[in-house]
Structure 1
């Protein structure tokens, strides 16, 4: 370690600089990778959320970006459990599909590869039968 010129010892509160030390590529200070929704996915989700808020069904939301999944949770009020959770799990991309909608009880309502189709479970289109 080297001290700045003219200093006998490091003053309190000043850290010393290590010379010729390069951070290793496996440095622990790198942020851990996480899964997130991209712009198009988020715009589809927020469009559904906006329509539900306009109807008065939903009032709040939360987003969690974790290592293996991203979660958008919709709440009817500030409660402990969300009404619905929309998840993106990229590890399931080649299997059942990376998008899924989960209800308050934890049941998977819809799973698939296309987010637009998966979100249709939240907005059923009823037909008039005569």
Structure 2
């Protein structure tokens, strides 16, 4: 009976990476969120960091489905853009490469006509 050494693993094991919003991205999103809360439009938010996407969900009330989702998908960086705003029905309202430009679709909701 011959004892053989275990076969070495080649390379490191691949652990799933997690996509998250960077501090500067969160600053832009939370700035808009604060203005909408002050206007009484939004009340709560949630952040999810998943394997392929980071999601900032916006709620009118805590127990509801999100009104809007701001998603970051780095895999789409070279295609349509990695940022997207998605409505309650799943429709993509705006997609692009620049977060501030994509969030303008939500800022329009803040502008109201004054009587």
TM-based fold match above 0.5? yes
Match among 112, 116, 121 for residue 100 of structure 2: 116
Q: 1:11 corresponds to which residue?
A: none
**Alignment gaps of 5+ in structure 2:** 1-8
d(CA) in 2 for partners of 1:116, 1:80: 26
TM-score (norm 1): 0.73
**Alignment gaps of 5+ in structure 1:** 1-23
Higher RCO (CA < 8 A, seq sep 6+): 2
**Larger-gyration structure (1/2):** 1
Query: Does residue 97 of structure 1 match 2:84?
Result: no
Quote the RMSD (CA, aligned, Å): 2.2
Matches within 5 A, 1:1-130: 25-26=12-13, 32-124=16-108
In structure 1, the residue corresponding to 2:52 is in which secondary structure?
coil
In structure 1, the residue corresponding to 2:64 is in which secondary structure?
coil
Please report how far the alpha carbon of residue 31 of structure 1 lies from its aligned counterpart in structure 2 after TM superposition: 5.6
TM-score (norm 2): 0.82
Residues paired across the two proteins, number: 104
